Amino acid sequence: MSEETRTVTAVVNGAETTAEVPTRTLLSDFLRHGLGLTGTHVGCEQGVCGACTVLVDGEPIRSCLMFAVQAEGRRVETVESLARDGELSPFQQAMKDEHGLQCGFCTPGILMSVTAAERHGKTAGETETEVLGGHVCRCTGYVGIRSAIRRCWSEGATRA
């Protein structure tokens, strides 16, 4: 018996993409294996750790919990979309400057969730508690990440 497939067209990181995918393909697998966007990390595969977070129509979504076919007609942004012309986004730069990452496994998901929070006008305090509360980082103790959030918000350096 052959697996059912569907054609999916979505705007991924600003470029329209059309692909034939098995209907049960997760968005995380489609991004990583289908499109080669390996910045989207897969951790727990249960939506708990947040490593696979991407933005779908501007909202943070756990890509391990969404099928690729659900992205039909939608706009998907991955961590690869944040740096432009070789220049880090303000929050990426703040993460680097404040040593907000160590192993880097959780970093893409955190970057995407914080980017969405900034775009939605959340305060630094809301972002530190609500947004970081949805991500698991086993390396940093969150100190550098919180410092990066405060730094980015205090400088008002948004490019999102």
Domain ranges across the chain: 5-81, 90-155
pTM for the model: 0.93
- The pLDDT value recorded for residue 114 is 97
Residue 158: predicted pLDDT: 53
Residues 6+ apart with CB under 8 A from 35: 12, 17, 19
Give the pLDDT confidence score for residue 141 in this predicted structure: 81
| CATH code for residues 5-81 | 3.10.20.30
Residues of the chain with pLDDT under 50: none
Could you give the 3-state DSSP secondary structure of residue 19? strand
Whole-number pLDDT of residue 3: 82
d(CA 23, CA 49): 24
**CATH 1.10.150.120: does it fit domain 90-155?**
yes
